[in-house]
Amino acid sequence: MNIHEYQAKELFAGYGVPVPRGVVAFSPDEAFFAAKQLATTPVVVKAQIHAGGRGKAGGVKLAHSPEEARDLAQSMLGAKLVTRQTMPSGKTVHKLLVEEGLPIDRELYFSIIPDRATAKIVIMASTEGGMDIEEVAEKTPEKIVRVSVDPLLGIMPHHCRRAAFALNLPSRAFKPFTKMVSDLYRLFVEKDCSLVEINPLVLTTDERVLALDAKINFDDNALFRHKDIAGLSDPEEEDPLEVEASAHNLNYIKMDGNVGNMVNGAGLAMATMDIIKQAGAEPANFLDVGGGANAETVENGFRIILSDKNVKGILINIFGGILRCDVLASGVVKAAKKVGLNVPVVVRMEGTNVEEGRRILAESGLNLINAKDLTDAAKKVSEIVN
């Protein structure tokens, strides 16, 4: 789960991590009063969307007066921001963070991530702040220091010192920074984060260290024990179909193509999208209905796929193991009748009771096309949409 920068900074502040003074604004007038209240020249006006790369895309601007902050807010609010991390259609800006301007001496990089392979928590720090960290890792890997922390042992002072030495901090900033590392680690663990990233972390000319930016991702699997965090999610940032799907416990991700597809199992669903593309068509979605698919899940799946007006054909790919093909076929027929199916559906089933399942589909009188195998299914659905 992602949250906004301003929310991440509120969490930071709660853990004692220094952040610039800032006010959230939902309207040009609020931006005006925010700038007035902050009383620095300039103030920074930052678009709040769930995507990085805002600076280069025009989502972060300086205002030298409250009036200018209001004008900037006027042009930014409601407009779409296209960054390298958004879809080409961009994301609509609904809120802004107005922050005090700071006298910046150096821009640094800091993050905490889990390392999948070693199961350690890794702290990354670099003097190359404000840049794409992947680019730094590729071109000058020696400029990134990685400190590995055993989650059973937790963070220790020498971990924090290593990060501080790597950043070549002046002595007055050293101690506050090591405390910050320890506080951020505590936040990472206590809130089950999957990413805490500050880019840039700034050293000011008066030798303070502050989080100028803040990005936090949370482990969805752990949200059950963090109701406060779950409450920070912003429905305006999500695709409405994805929100509806998750309410039905379906794993749905919208894509740009026109072949809707419904599959049991995430790996098979990804492979099904791939095979649709290989057959010369584009998948309209990822949809995993899970191992225990029944008539109800299939019905909800149909409804969500059909809400996407780009969909011209549907491919259902089910490997029936525990789930029997005849049960699934009955579910498909029932659901298709109920939702008033208006596009052709190619069904590929394999596994337990497959013959009986195919018979049910064939005798349904609906526009359900049996495919004999995966390749055949992809070919048939591709022919339909092209």
Partner 1 sequence: MSIFVNKDTKLLVQGITGREGRFHALACREYGTNVVAGVTPGKGGQDVEGIPVFDSVAEAVEKTGADASLVFVPPPFAADAICEAADAGVALVVAITEGIPVLDMMRVKNYLAKKPVRLIGPNCPGIITPGECKAGIMPGFIHKPGGPVGVVSRSGTLTYEVVDQLTKAGLGQTTCIGIGGDPVNGTNFIDCIDAFNKDPDTQALVMVGEIGGNAEEDAAAFIQANVKKPVVGFVAGLTAPPGRRMGHAGAIISGSSGTAQAKVSAMKAAGIHVCENLGELGALCKKVF
Q: Would you name the residues annotated as active-site residues? A: 109, 197
Q: Is 270 in the site for partner 1 (CB under 8 A)?
A: yes
Q: Is 255 in the site for partner 1 (CB under 8 A)?
A: yes
CB of 300 to partner 1, least distance (A): 16
Of the candidates 170, 278, 337, 338, which one interacts with partner 1 according to CB under 8 A?
Answer: 278
Site string for partner 1, 225-254 (x = CB under 8 A): x-------------------------x-x-
| Choice between 107 and 238, CB closer to partner 1 | 238
Q: Is 105 in the site for partner 1 (CB under 8 A)?
A: no
Stretch of 74-82, 170-178, 330-338, 372-380 lying at the interface with partner 1 (CB under 8 A): 372-380
Which two three-digit tokens encode residue 242? 């994805």
Q: Is 67 in the site for partner 1 (CB under 8 A)?
A: no
Stretch of 28-36, 91-99, 175-183, 349-357 lying at the interface with partner 1 (CB under 8 A): 349-357
Of the candidates 352, 353, 364, 367, which one interacts with partner 1 according to CB under 8 A?
Answer: 352
CB of 61 to partner 1, least distance (A): 25
Closest CA to 368 of 350, 385, 344: 344
With CB under 8 A as the rule, give the number of residues binding partner 1.
Answer: 54
Name the amino acid, one letter, at 385.
V
- Please report, as residue ranges, which positions from 139 to 158 form the binding site for partner 1 (by CB under 8 A): 150-152
- Please report, as residue ranges, which positions from 6 to 45 form the binding site for partner 1 (by CB under 8 A): none
Q: Is 265 in the site for partner 1 (CB under 8 A)?
A: yes
Name the amino acid, one letter, at 373.
D
User: Which is it for the CA torsion 39, 40, 44, 50, positive or negative?
Assistant: negative
241 burial class (0-12, 13-18, 19+ CB within 10 angstroms)? Answer: middle
Q: Is 120 in the site for partner 1 (CB under 8 A)?
A: yes
Beta bridge partners of 45: 61, 98
| Choice between 201 and 276, CB closer to partner 1 | 276
CA distance 88 to 140: 30
Residues 6+ apart with CB under 8 A from 362: 368, 370
Q: Is 85 in the site for partner 1 (CB under 8 A)?
A: yes
* Chain residues in the site for partner 1 (CB under 8 A): 85, 114, 116-117, 119-121, 134, 150-152, 189, 192, 194, 219-222, 224-225, 251, 253, 255, 263-271, 273-278, 283, 286, 288, 291, 319-322, 350-352, 373-376, 378
